[in-house]
Structures are given as structure tokens and as C-alpha cells.
């Protein structure tokens, strides 16, 4: 599918497995739009755009 939505995909993963997940994710989603919903920003440096919400208010945007 051209759009992939991932809601807390790393919630139950340890740090090492989370890094492996993002390495595989980068290859698997080439050419797709991915909406990644997460509480931790681990791996966010590899994303094109990041929006940070606090209490439903946009607090920061990058990219």
C-alpha cells in the first residue's frame, strides 16, 4: 500500500530490537508515506518530517 500507518510499533521492544526495527523499516517503506505514531523519539532522526504534539497542540515541527 502507498500509505502505511504504524501506531506504537516499538512499544514492547527493547532498545536493540527497536534499532533493528528502524533499520528494516527504512528499506521496507521506500517510496511510501508512513505515519508513525510514537511516544519515544528513538529513530526519529531518520524520518523526513516530525511533528510533536503535547496535549493535542502542535508544539514543534521539523522537516
| pLDDT for 7 | 94
Outline where DSSP puts E strands in 1-63: 3-7, 33-37, 50-54, 57-62
Report the alpha-carbon distance of residue 8 to residue 12 in Å, rounded.
9
pLDDT per residue as tens digits for the range 3-19: 999 999 999 999 899 98
Domain that holds residue 51: 3-62
Please report which confidence band the pLDDT of residue 1 belongs to, taking 50, 70 and 90 as the band edges.
Answer: low
pLDDT per residue as tens digits for the range 20-31: 998 898 888 888
Whichever domain contains 55, its CATH number is: 3.40.50.300
User: What average pLDDT score do residues 43-57 get?
Assistant: 85
Report the alpha-carbon distance of residue 4 to residue 20 in Å, rounded.
18
Number of domains in the chain: 1
Considering the entire predicted model, what is its pTM? 0.73
User: What average pLDDT score do residues 40-53 get?
Assistant: 81
Amino acid at each position: 500500500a502507498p500509505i502505511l500507518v504504524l501506531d506504537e510499533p516499538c512499544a514492547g521492544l527493547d532498545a536493540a530490537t527497536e534499532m533493528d526495527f528502524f533499520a528494516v523499516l527504512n528499506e521496507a517503506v521506500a517510496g511510501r508515506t508512513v505515519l508513525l505514531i510514537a511516544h519515544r523519539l528513538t529513530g526519529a532522526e531518520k524520518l523526513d518530517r516530525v511533528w510533536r504534539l503535547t496535549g493535542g497542540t502542535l508544539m514543534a515541527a521539523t522537516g
